[in-house]
Amino acid sequence: MLNIGVLISGSGSNLQSLIDACALDDFPVNIKVVICNKHDAYGIQRAKDAGIETVCISHKDYSDREAFDRQMHHVLEDREVEFVCLAGFMRLLSPWFAQQWHNKMVNIHPSLLPSFKGINAQQQALDYGVKIAGCTLHFVRSEMDTGPIILQAAVEVKSDDTFETLRDRILEQEHRIYVQGLKMIASGQVKVDGDQLVYQ
């Protein structure tokens, strides 16, 4: 079993898909702790409902980014977390934290990277006028929305799509590839060599 910590900032729908997967017999992952930087995020309730420990750490209580990250790191180490899953965590991570969890931290991003990095990727895609959007599960590097890609999924953009309809269609695929990709990692099917994903 791979012991993971999940970092969230919001409603935690990707967290929910991980919780649901962990309830299955053949999913070799155990969620040890959910860390949230917003005390009123709905994702906290999802974790509590599943009997998972939640820790709120407000970035406002820390003088700088790394001090905040060190507190998260302390919690993760204390709970013997081996692997970190970002799931709608809306804080940039310090290079120090990225280094601590190098090749042991993944993020899901709602675009086909390298297109549309940063916030509101779905709106960026609509504004650009792409006909294929999607999502990316990737290992985290200190530069935002970069790092070896584990899985991607493509989603058709429809001519009457709004931000909400596209976001929701992409989100379904995020849930799917997050669970699938995390299982590949936990079962040792994929590893990272340098910045290359290697299949075992």
Residues making contact with a copy of itself (CB under 8 A): 112-116, 128-132, 134, 148-154, 159, 195-197, 199
Q: Give the shortest CB-104-to-a copy of itself separation in angstroms.
A: 18
> Which residue, 24 or 154, is less far from a copy of itself as judged by CB?
154
Distance CA 82, CA 84 (A): 7
Q: Give the shortest CB-3-to-a copy of itself separation in angstroms.
A: 26
Strand, coil or helix: what is 34? strand
Look up residue 117 and give its amino acid.
K
> Which residue, 75 or 197, is less far from a copy of itself as judged by CB?
197
Mark out the alpha helices in 79-120 (DSSP H runs): 95-100
Specify which residues 152 forms β-bridges with.
136
Known catalytic residue: 74?
A: no
Q: Give the shortest CB-158-to-a copy of itself separation in angstroms.
A: 10
Distance CA 75, CA 77 (A): 6
Positive/negative CA dihedral, 34, 22, 18, 92: positive
> Which residue, 144 or 197, is less far from a copy of itself as judged by CB?
197
Specify which residues 90 forms β-bridges with.
none
> Which residue, 72 or 157, is less far from a copy of itself as judged by CB?
157
Distant-in-sequence, close-in-space partners of 151: CB < 8 Å, separation ≥ 6: 136, 137, 177, 180, 181, 184
Positive/negative CA dihedral, 148, 7, 50, 121: negative
Spot the catalytic one: 39, 73, 109, 175.
109
Any idea which residues carry the catalytic annotation?
109
